[in-house]
Structure 1
Amino acid sequence: MTTANSTTAKVTLSDTTSNPAPLGLLGFGMTTILLNLHNAGLFELNSMIMGMGLFMGGSAQVIAGVQEWKKNNTFGATAFTAYGFFWLSLVATWLLPSAGLNANASSAVAMGFYLGLWGLFTAGMFVGTLRINKALQVVFGSLTVLFFLLAAANFTGSHMIHTLAGIEGVLCGLSALYACIAQILNEVYGEEIMPIGKI
């Protein structure tokens, strides 16, 4: 009978891929600003908003979410893919009734429930940001308020609440744009040029 000595080698892999969060925040931030300029009454719902919803708000965030998944970041993967598909589903609610698929347009009450449910999800995600950084707390906190304001506007038919939601939504989008640029510049310069309030 022969025995063989065996050795165990530990292999460590180094992640050299870039941070996908700025792309996701950019897609979310820019699209949120543009839609909420519409909600605030500056211009009508148009193809520019839908195009941004399909590609920057939707596709870019889903790509960022898949990259976060590869980095073992459950929060980032869930957030970016979920909100990416939110934008795609929102554009679908606008386009499906006119696409010849016999789909009825969503009522205000249906949209109220749709937006309210997204508000509940976002409130849960906000709790997660309490362990990440203050910049994301502002993004997710203001997004929670935005969803509930938009839901209330749909349930009540209040133009005032809808306009208020638009103004608040622009601020939410700007906070995401800030977090995007801050992460890029802080990495490029190797120091905190724009604070994000690390915890």
Structure 2
Amino acid sequence: MPPLSRSGKGQSRPRLANPAPLGLFGFALTTFVISCYNAGLFGVAASDPINVVIVLGIFYGGLAQAAAGILEFLYGDTFAATAFTSYGAFWLSYAALSIPWFGVADGYMTGITSSSRAEYVFSRAIATYLLAWTIFTLIMTVGSARTSIALCFLFCLVTLTFVLLTVGEFGQFLGVHRAAGFVGVLTAVVAWYNALAELLDSQKRPLFTLPLGKLSSSAAVDDESRTLHGSEIQQ
């Protein structure tokens, strides 16, 4: 049952929940699964079918995370809204790249007679795609510098993961690609930590709390802004 808050007219209305744990959990779980494939953990490999990753990319890493981002827009948290909606779009676009129905890979076969040439062109396109997300993530890492140590560390790991994926794709280095998988697993663990910390912090009487390491007073301002926007939405 959702917690209740009192309106000015004495009526009880449901209080909006903190969407950050949902966004972080969606990012963490999807990142963990695909990173296990990239690293070759638990009996799966990057060359195996990634159907489970596609499903997660659509529903949890994609739609659920994007929904969390939209709610963050309502709360007035620009950074979280940008991060969740953007990475939700990343997972949706990644799923579209992997689904034959969208015809993305087949489109590179048009007008190219050599299959090896088509594979090369498609590989370069994927590498450029990853490079663009690397640049975006680096920008977001700069933006996270005044949030918390835990969140900033998370974005540093996400940046490193994208850098390794980009280098591995451009050079077709299997070792670098696998290293990206191991870093991605660590990234997922840190994202889970942030998600659990946010989840516990949103409870009135949590069993325990996890430190995030606030870096500046801006975090307190963001919390106040979230509360004010939440109150306005409920009215």
TM-score when normalising by structure 1: 0.86
In the alignment, structure 1 segments of 5+ residues that lack a partner are 1-10
Counterpart of 1:156?
171
TM-score when normalising by structure 2: 0.74
Deviation at 1:192, TM superposition (A): 6.8
Q: Is the 8 A contact 1:29 1:177 kept in 2?
A: yes
Matches within 5 A, 1:1-199: 16-42=15-41, 43=44, 44-95=48-99, 98-99=100-101, 101=103, 103-104=107-108, 107-188=122-203, 189=205, 193-199=209-215
Give the 3-state SS of the residue equivalent to 2:81 in structure 1: helix
Once the two structures are superposed, what CA deviation does each residue of 1:68-93 show, in whole Å capped at 9, x if it has no partner? Answer: 00001111111100000000000111
Once the two structures are superposed, what CA deviation does each residue of 1:1-37 show, in whole Å capped at 9, x if it has no partner? Answer: xxxxxxxxxx9xxx94211110000000000000000
Give the 3-state SS of the residue equivalent to 1:99 in structure 2: helix
Once the two structures are superposed, what CA deviation does each residue of 1:34-71 show, in whole Å capped at 9, x if it has no partner? Answer: 00000012312322111111111000111000000000
Distance 2:194 2:52 in 1: 24
Letter of the 1:71 partner, please give it.
Y
In the alignment, structure 2 segments of 5+ residues that lack a partner are 1-7, 9-13, 110-120, 216-235
Distance 2:136 2:149 in 1: 19
Give the 3-state SS of the residue equivalent to 2:213 in structure 1: coil
Letter of the 2:142 partner, please give it.
V
Deviation at 1:186, TM superposition (A): 2.6
Distance 2:97 2:70 in 1: 24
Q: Is the 8 A contact 1:38 1:45 kept in 2?
A: no
Deviation beyond 6 Å, 4+ runs, structure 1: none
CA RMSD of aligned residues (A): 2.1
Q: Is the 8 A contact 2:18 2:202 kept in 1?
A: no
Distance 2:169 2:97 in 1: 15
Letter of the 2:160 partner, please give it.
V
Task: Describe the shift of the 1:28–1:103 C-alpha distance in structure 2 as closer, same or farther (beyond 3 A).
Answer: same
